[in-house]
Amino acid sequence: MWPFQNKNNTPPRTQQPKAKRTRSLTPNRLIQEINNSRTFGDSIVGISSDRLSSMGGAYGNWNVNQVLRQTLPSLRSACRHLSVQNPFAKRYVSLSSNLVVGADGITVRPRPLSHDGTTNQELSERLEKAFYDWSENASEFSFDGSLSIDLFQQLVERTRSLDGECFIQIHRDRQSVKFSIIDSSRIPSTKNELLQNGHFISNGIEYDQDGRVLAYHIADVHPLNYSLQVSSCKRLPADEIIHYFIPEFPNQQRGIPDLCPSLKALQDYNSYIEATLIGKRISSSAMAFIKNDSDSGLLDEDEEQQREYFEYLEPGSIKELGRGQSIETINPTAGVDKISEFSEIIMQTIVTGLSTTKQNLTGDTANASFSAAKMSDRIQRDGMKTRSNLMISKVLKTIYQEWLKVFMINTLKNLSFSDFDNIKNAEYILPKQISLDPNKDAQYEKILVDMGVKSKSQVIRDLGQDPIRVFEEIDSEKERINKEENITVQGSTTDGIEKEESNEGDKPIE
């Protein structure tokens, strides 16, 4: 009854729909960079941090060949990624190639010996001309016709520093010999088995019972998707392969990439720099927000309540905040504090692992004294000279001797192979490095020559030139100068005597 109202007659209240939250993602370059920085370690290096940190313990407890069998593919892939996307890794690979072989490569000077032990100069000049006519012709030197001997040396050293090793295949026939580089990933480190004849395959290399290398097993490559067919391998005898790497352990079967000790440091340094740059870009971006009053932002009961969230904000953007929303920012100032000190420490770790110096790796000579720069240069040269000697003994000597055999069969038919040991003698001249103080270096060389502890020929060879040719050019220049002086003396009058004028002809005497 009235004034009471029946509860059953009360109209049901409509339930308000739940607020829907929507995200507004602004696609821009900053989003991509932030996402890249979040996954930088895995995408660039390609090997987990746990696996990198376990490498040290693995080397101490296991055989080095067992470690290489498990980690070599991942390490090689990580180093290849770094050489493309990391500036310091790319700089190191180029630096190693430039210091070991130089821009023109290591020079080969044939020095065939006669029976009395002296150099056969006539045969030497003939061999040198024929060798460089062949090696500088890419179609004659390389199997695919793309590399001459100077580019070949640079690529071999770059491959060794990057992959830890380089495989060179020798293509022989009676008329010629050619060379090609095999991708080290085609020799699978996962191919390990015992053979029925007592031989065994370890890390893709076949050995006899005494540990001597017999053959290399090369995996086939799919021509379209470039996948390796590990189950289908071609066996190449050991005398057809040059395996160029620097052994660091006894009985080591495969090479270790040079970037391996610095992988983690390079990853951390790049991650830090990327995060710092993004933080600076965000902090330097100006934005504006429109905040409504409490009443003006009310939504009607019939309208659907929505809230918009902004995860990424572009510089210069203007956004309106919803009811009850406010902006709170976090300024990551700690990320850029003492960036110079952090960079110095991590860079020292990187260059130590790469066996180089900061000046050579970065090219930065700021705050470096002349003495420190010179000492750094000498340390770098001594370290790279060891690699140059290995390049000579493992690669260049084999290339020259293989060519000489073919040349003797086809051209030097009057020479006997019994004299091959004397004929194959050659000098290998390393690239001349730029001197920091050429005047003092020249004075030092002159002092050694005057003391009798060094010959002029040695000084000329250190300059990357042939002493015999230099002496011949000096003698020819002296002869030419003497002839010019004699002609000048004969055509001139005697000093102190004036030339008399004659009255011959039409010219009168004054």
pLDDT tier for residue 278 given thresholds of 50, 70 and 90: confident
**Alpha-carbon distance values, 438 to 321, 442, 463, 474 (Å):** 69, 6, 12, 22
Residue 40 is predicted with a pLDDT of: 44
DSSP string, 131-166: HHHHHT-HHHHBTTS---HHHHHHHHHHHHHHHSEE
> 164 — phi, psi (to 5°)?
90, -10
Q: How does residue 26 score in pLDDT terms, banded at 50, 70 and 90?
A: very low
Alpha carbon distance 420, 286 (integer Å): 78
Residue found by looking up tokens 């059953």 in the block:
8
67-106 pLDDT, tens digit per residue, is 999 899 999 999 999 999 889 999 999 999 998 998 889 9
In a domain, 186, yes or no: no
| Phi–psi pair at 328, nearest 5 degrees | -130, 130
User: Looking at 121-130, 150-159, 295-304, 349-358, which range is the least confident one?
Assistant: 295-304
Q: What are phi and psi of 202, to 5 degrees?
A: -130, 125
Predicted confidence at residue 305, as pLDDT, reads 54
Q: Please state the rounded mean pLDDT for residues 284-312.
A: 57
Q: Which of 189-203, 248-262, 321-335, 375-389 has the lowest mean pLDDT?
A: 321-335
User: Which pLDDT does position 399 carry in this prediction?
Assistant: 96
The pLDDT tens digits for 474-489 are 988 888 888 887 877 6
Q: What is the arithmetic mean of pLDDT over 247-256? A: 93
Please report the DSSP string for 438-470 in residue order: HHHHHHHHHHHHHHTSS-HHHHHHHTTS-HHHH
DSSP per-residue string spanning 281-323: HHHT---EEEE--TTTTPPPTTSPPEEEEES---TT-EEEE-T
Q: Which residues pair with 202 in a beta bridge?
A: 205
| Alpha carbon distance 461, 469 (integer Å) | 11
pLDDT of residue 508: 52
State how far the alpha carbon of 434 is from the alpha carbons of 82, 98, 104, 156, 431, in Å: 29, 12, 14, 23, 10
Q: Per DSSP, what are the bridge partners of residue 430?
A: none
**Structural domain includes residue 171:** no
d(CA 316, CA 288): 7
How many angstroms separate the CA atoms of 502 and 509, rounded?
A: 8
Residue 206 backbone phi and psi in degrees, to 5:
-95, 135
366 has pLDDT over 50: yes
Residue 279 three-state SS: helix
Cβ pair 183, 76 in contact under 8 A: no
Identify which of 417, 403, 408 has the alpha carbon closest to the alpha carbon of residue 177.
403
Mean pLDDT score across all residues of the chain: 79
Residue 10 has pLDDT above 90, yes or no: no
Pick from 62-66, 109-113, 290-294: least confident = 290-294
- Token output for 195: 């053979």
41 falls within a domain:
yes
Asked which of 208-217, 232-241, 376-385, 441-450 is least confident by mean pLDDT, the reply is 376-385
Is residue 43 predicted with pLDDT exceeding 80? Answer: no
Task: Answer yes or no: is 298 within a domain.
Answer: no
pLDDT of 301 strictly over 60: no
Domain count, the chain: 2
Helix (H) / strand (E) element for 84: namely: helix 64-85
- Pick from 311, 335, 308: nearest CA to 324: 308
In a domain, 346, yes or no: yes
Residue 22 main-chain phi, psi, to 5 deg: -120, 145
pLDDT at residue 296 tops 80: no
pLDDT above 80: residue 16: no
Measured between alpha carbons, how far is 277 from 269 in angstroms, rounded to an integer? 12
Domain membership flag for residue 91: no
Alpha-carbon dihedral angle through residues 70, 74, 75, 78, given to the nearest 10 degrees: -170
Instruction: Decide if 9 is inside a domain.
Output: no
Q: By residue range, what is the domain housing residue 467?
A: 437-487
Helix (H, G, I), strand (E, B) or coil at 69: helix
- 206 within a domain of the structure (yes/no): no
Mean pLDDT of 323-342: 64
Question: With contact defined as beta carbons under 8 Å apart, do 127 and 424 qualify?
Answer: no
Contacts of 319 (CB under 8 A, 6+ apart): 287, 288, 289, 290, 310, 313
pLDDT above 80: residue 470: yes
Average pLDDT, integer, range 200-218: 94
> Which one is predicted more confidently, 22 or 227?
227
Task: Please report, rounded to a whole number, the percentage of residues in the chain having pLDDT higher than 70.
Answer: 71
Using CB atoms within 10 A of its CB, is residue 60 exposed (0-12), middle (13-18) or buried (19+)?
exposed
pLDDT of residue 42: 46
Q: What is the pLDDT of residue 35?
A: 56
In angstroms, the CA 290 to CA 69 distance is 61
With cut-offs at 50, 70 and 90, classify the pLDDT of residue 280. confident
